[in-house]
């Protein structure tokens, strides 16, 4: 069981109010480099000449990866929609985590350059302030700089449906293994934490995806939700597959957070 530590931080903001990228190739820990090289090779194998570039984002490129918790989050840019399937990603992730046990999973994503720079898509946020190019042409220079406000939010628009789907998963479908249930638990708890931060990001004039700072910023504005968000943080770091423990906190957020999202962002999920 991982100890809950006050780790992580906020990205710096420049004099014009724009978020400064902290990620860089120099920050990548040595032991993560072989699996990154193998991931690039896998993208090359599957996309061939259509592969434009490969990015790594998250804690790995900030030099803050934690063994057994951090994922290797990757994104490929391809030149065409043809043969864009990433169905091979799950098998590749399983093989990689067996070979490199310190990795929680390898995330395989792919899209076109047009999708990557589309202001309506969250991928532009990932490439602009969270990721570094480890292969090919860096298209992030074509994305305008971002400020810590609604334009740099990724999660609030989809949280309601994600909560509903996860509640249904634990109530009905449920996983075929304890490991699958735990992964589902960790995933949704991270989404809740990061959406909670998005509710206060503009007031804070800060940007982060780190879990503890998300918890800390959120609870400074919603002190009555401190205990609930701390439980969410605990389940994000030490997930459980037991639905009797997961469902109460999911239902609590489902009954509160969509309404607060609507109030803050004037957004309603239909």
pLDDT tens digits in sequence order for the chain, 270 residues long: 778 888 889 999 999 999 999 999 999 999 999 999 999 999 999 999 999 999 999 899 999 888 888 899 999 999 987 777 889 999 999 999 999 999 989 999 999 999 988 888 889 999 999 999 999 999 999 999 999 999 999 999 999 999 999 999 999 876 667 888 998 999 999 999 999 999 999 999 999 999 999 999 999 999 999 999 999 999 999 999 898 999 999 999 999 999 999 999 987 654
Say whether 86 sits in a helix, a strand or coil. Answer: coil
| Helix, strand counts (H, E) of the chain | 9, 4
Say whether 209 sits in a helix, a strand or coil. Answer: coil
Most distant CA pair in the chain, distance: 54
Q: What is the pTM of this model?
A: 0.87
Rounded Cα gap, residues 92 and 105, in angstroms: 9
Residue 4 is assigned to a structural domain of this protein: no
DSSP for 62-74, written as a single string: GT---TTT--EEE
247 with 171: CB under 8 angstroms? yes
Rounded Cα gap, residues 247 and 189, in angstroms: 11
Are 118 and 31 in the same domain? yes
Rounded Cα gap, residues 104 and 96, in angstroms: 10
Give 213's contacts (C-beta < 8 A, 6+ positions apart): 8, 9, 10, 197, 206
The predicted pLDDT at position 174 comes to 65
Are 136 and 188 in the same domain? no
Range of the domain at 44: 25-142
The predicted pLDDT at position 176 comes to 67
Query: Token pair for residue 232?
Result: 């969410």
Instruction: Report the CATH number that the domain containing residue 88 is assigned in CATH.
Output: 3.30.460
- The DSSP letter of residue 20 is P
Are 54 and 71 in the same domain? yes
Are 138 and 154 in the same domain? no
The predicted pLDDT at position 175 comes to 62
Say whether 53 sits in a helix, a strand or coil. Answer: strand
Residue 15 is assigned to a structural domain of this protein: no
Are 158 and 78 in the same domain? no
The residue out of 142, 167, 188 marking a domain boundary is 142
Are 32 and 78 in the same domain? yes
Are 29 and 78 in the same domain? yes
The residue out of 142, 165, 190 marking a domain boundary is 142
The residue out of 122, 142, 162 marking a domain boundary is 142
Query: Token pair for residue 5?
Result: 């530590």
Number of domains making up the chain? 2
Are 106 and 122 in the same domain? yes
Rounded Cα gap, residues 268 and 270, in angstroms: 6
Query: Token pair for residue 73?
Result: 């989050």
The predicted pLDDT at position 34 comes to 97
Q: Where are the alpha helices (DSSP H) in the chain?
A: 33-47, 89-99, 113-116, 123-125, 159-168, 178-204, 211-221, 226-237, 243-265
Residue 211 is assigned to a structural domain of this protein: yes
Are 96 and 138 in the same domain? yes
Residue 267: other Cβ atoms inside 10 A: 14
The predicted pLDDT at position 7 comes to 84
Residue 11 is assigned to a structural domain of this protein: no
Residue 270 is assigned to a structural domain of this protein: no
Are 246 and 187 in the same domain? yes
Are 82 and 179 in the same domain? no
The predicted pLDDT at position 270 comes to 43
33 with 23: CB under 8 angstroms? no
Give 205's contacts (C-beta < 8 A, 6+ positions apart): 13, 17, 148
Query: Token pair for residue 107?
Result: 């995330």
Residue 18 is assigned to a structural domain of this protein: no
Are 115 and 198 in the same domain? no
56 with 28: CB under 8 angstroms? yes
């Amino acid at each position: 069981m991982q100890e809950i530590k006050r780790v992580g931080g906020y990205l710096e903001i420049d004099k014009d109010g724009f978020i400064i990228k902290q990620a860089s190739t120099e920050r990548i820990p040595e032991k993560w480099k072989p699996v990154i090289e193998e991931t690039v090779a896998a993208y090359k194998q599957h996309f061939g000449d259509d592969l434009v570039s490969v990015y790594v984002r998250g804690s790995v490129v900030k030099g803050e990866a934690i063994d057994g918790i951090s994922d290797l989050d990757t994104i490929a840019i391809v030149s065409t929609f043809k043969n864009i399937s990433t169905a091979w990603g799950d098998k590749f992730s399983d093989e990689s985590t067996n070979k490199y046990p310190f990795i929680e999973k390898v995330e395989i994503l792919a899209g076109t350059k047009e999708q990557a720079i589309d202001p309506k898509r969250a991928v532009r946020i990932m490439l602009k302030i969270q990721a570094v190019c480890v292969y090919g042409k860096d298209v992030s220079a074509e994305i305008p700089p971002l400020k810590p406000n609604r334009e740099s939010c990724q999660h609030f628009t989809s949280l309601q449906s994600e909560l509903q789907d996860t509640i249904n998963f634990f109530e009905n479908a449920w996983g075929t293994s304890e490991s699958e249930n735990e992964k589902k638990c960790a995933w949704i708890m991270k989404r809740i934490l990061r959406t909670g931060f998005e509710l206060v990001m503009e007031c804070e004039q800060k940007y982060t995806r780190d879990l503890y700072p998300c918890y800390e910023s959120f609870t400074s504005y919603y002190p009555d939700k401190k205990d609930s968000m701390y439980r969410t943080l605990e389940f994000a770091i030490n997930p459980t597959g037991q639905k009797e423990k997961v469902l109460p906190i999911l239902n609590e957020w489902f009954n509160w957070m969509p309404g607060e999202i609507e109030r803050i962002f004037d957004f309603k999920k239909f």
